[in-house]
Amino acid sequence: MPELRNFTLNFGPQHPAAHGVLRMVLELDGEVVMRADPHIGLLHRATEKLAENKTWIQSVPYMDRLDYMSMMCNEHAYCMAIERLLNVEVPIRAQYIRVMFDEITRILNHLLWIGCHGLDVGAMTMVLYAFREREDLVDAYEAVSGARMHAAYYRPGGVYRDLPDRMAQYKESKWKSAAQIKPFNDVRSGSLLDFLDDFVSRFPKLLDEYETLLTDNRIWKQRLVNVGIVSPERALQRGFTGPMLRGSGVAWDLRKKQPYEVYDRVDFDIPVGVTGDSYDRYLVRMEEMRQSNRIVKQCIDWLRQNPGPVMSDNHKVAPPDREAMKSNMEELIHHFKLCAEGMHVPEGEVYSAVEHPKGEFGIYVISDGANKPYRLKIRPPGYVHLSAMDEMVRGHMLADVVTIIGSQDVVFGEIDR
Amino acid sequence: MFATLEALSQNLQKHLGDRVKSLKVALGEVTIEVDAADYLTVMQTLHDEPELCFEELIDLCGVDYWSYGNVRREGRRFAAVSHLLSISRNWRLRVRCFAPDDDFPSLPSVTSVWNSVNWFEREAFDLFGIVFPGHEDLRRILTDYGFIGHPFRKDFPVSGYVEMRYDPEQQRVIYQPVTIEPREITPRIVREATYGNVDNA
């Protein structure tokens, strides 16, 4: 009888199902995975080291580029850390705007996730539907910040500016006739809040459409049910957070348990899985999108009725407005000091965490009183989930590895930092 | 909020006793410092004791206190800082432990207590050179294959020592000494404690 040996397979880093630059060395016995060794760091940019050499405010755009699929949530954790060190109060309207955009970001992230996960597993259509809806939401990003992805919209002390009264319009071109662009421009004729209001009224129906495609789909269930089961005990032991933990049946959500901003004033539910397999995680994320939609709706209603400042008026932290700066000596000095030297954050250390679409995203900063952080540590949720990869894929087929990567929702911007 | 911090501090003192070298409550967070000799047993107690019940290790990171406050620091340099979370009690804790030897920083691994720490310890080893005896698989994780040095130490330059480029003559990718001139646009300034005080604004 010939000697049988395990087969070692290199998966990635340029594999389309590797979600970026994951390289995995898989040890196979036939088609069964015996061991998986993820090699990460191919996208390592040393964000933490760079942040130590930049002023506090200059690092905000770096945060967008961590998890580049949920940009504003990353900024949120960073800004909250600075605000807690400085003990700065954020205006209530800015808090509502932040919550609204956190939830928009969650929908954005989950839409991309369902699209790519579908693509990996064989449901090609999903990505087209998901990107149709993402288009509207990145338009909302663009309307407030001018950028469709890397917004840098949250700033220490509030948000960069108030919500705009009008949206950008489509123009007629030789590819799109006036009749074609009319429906797009009709929903964009009012303010950003009108546009989002229209979106949240349409979105639950669209989610139902996705579910008719996937939830009872036989192929989808064959690929997902009982794949990558994690028990609640193992999930805690492996440090899971977010949908990965809730999929295993642990009802833990920072928005409920340790509420920040105005999450204690909005009404929403936390979906929890039962078996802890990939299919439960899928269901949890789908339900999260519905709940996010509810939160966005409540924020829109509140924001319509309550105008007010969106940035702290403390000029040690936030720059003064242009008009005051041109007419007032003190304002000019504040602006100059803020832009030349940056703010000084008192000595201390703080860990601030937000319920990021992927799990608990935390920023740990140590300040020694300088105009730059002494040490910044990013706690990426995907890094912890990926470290459990070996445990989750052991004993599964090679094709299930792709399902499990998809259900972990990994993005390499945050994992490699 | 304040009551839970108070309860946590009391439980910590009750179960850890004098193994806690310092206990600080600041900005709504509890921080304890422990000696390297007690580190593993303290972590085990924090995980097992039902009155503390830290089921999850959220984060572990290395810190290099070499140039803290813009002055060369006396005393120990490297520390591992972990953030723990209790799901059932809904509280958090920060544990700091300094490595006794600066030339060969080493701390016991806590992978047996929380499996999630595995990659965090690899990262601290990779970036700071802190060694964790007891860790089964202490390889580099974030830096390149064959990287030399520990890039997050404060004496490691931001631009690094080597750069990589394609060499058309040898027709392969080569490493060469870095050609970037280091520059600092905004210098690092530490001012007196009341300088940036937002209460003065």
State the DSSP string of A21-72: T-EEEEEEETTEEEEEEEE--TT---HHHHHHTS-TGGGHHHHHTTSTTSHH
**Per-residue pLDDT at B198:** 57
pLDDT tens digit sequence for A75-94: 999 999 999 998 888 999 99
User: pLDDT-based confidence at B25, cuts 50/70/90?
Assistant: confident
**Per-residue pLDDT at B132:** 92
Nearest to B58 among A44, A84, A379 (CB): A379
**Per-residue pLDDT at A381:** 92
Phi, psi of A365 (to 5 degrees): -120, 140
**Per-residue pLDDT at B151:** 92
Would an 8 Å CB–CB cutoff place A170 in contact with chain B? no
**Per-residue pLDDT at A97:** 93
**Per-residue pLDDT at A42:** 87
- Answer whether residue B200 shows pLDDT above 70: no
- Residues of B within 8 A of A252 (CB-CB) are 87
- Mean pLDDT of chain B, nearest integer: 87
Answer whether residue B162 is part of any domain.
no
- Answer whether residue B79 shows pLDDT above 70: yes
Task: State which residues form the domain around B63.
Answer: 1-143
Q: Write out the two tokens for A278.
A: 């990939």
Packing angle between helix A92-121 and helix A126-145, nearest 10 degrees? Answer: 160
Nearest to A41 among B29, B63, B142 (CB): B142
Q: Write out the two tokens for A156.
A: 């220490």
**Per-residue pLDDT at B7:** 85
CB contact under 8 A, A239 and B114: yes
Domain total in chain B: 1
Find the CATH number of the domain harbouring B21: 3.30.460.80
Residue A10 contacts by C-beta under 8 Å, 6 or more apart in sequence? A23, A24, A25, A26
Distance in angstroms (rounded) separating the CA atoms of residues A188 and A194: 8
Average of pLDDT values for B163-187? 89
**Per-residue pLDDT at B1:** 61
pLDDT tens digit sequence for B28-73: 899 999 988 889 999 998 898 888 889 899 999 999 988 887 777 7
Answer whether residue B105 is part of any domain.
yes
Report ipTM (2 d.p.). Answer: 0.88
Average of pLDDT values for B103-115? 91
Answer whether residue B96 is part of any domain.
yes
Task: Domain A7-87+90-170+177-311+346-414: state its class.
Answer: mainly alpha
Residue ranges of chain A whose pLDDT lies below 50: none
Nearest to A44 among B83, B114, B143 (CB): B143
Q: List A residues 82-101 in contact with B (Cβ-Cβ < 8 A).
A: 84-88
Answer whether residue B134 is part of any domain.
yes
Of the candidates B55, B11, B199, the residue with the CA atom closest to the CA atom of residue A237: B55
A:B CB pairs within 8 Å: 140
The b/e string for A127-140 (b: 16+ C-beta within 10 A; e otherwise) is: bebbeebbebbbbb
Residue A395 contacts by C-beta under 8 Å, 6 or more apart in sequence? A32, A33
Answer whether residue B18 is part of any domain.
yes
- Answer whether residue B201 shows pLDDT above 60: no
Q: How many C-beta atoms surround the C-beta of residue B179 within 10 A?
A: 8
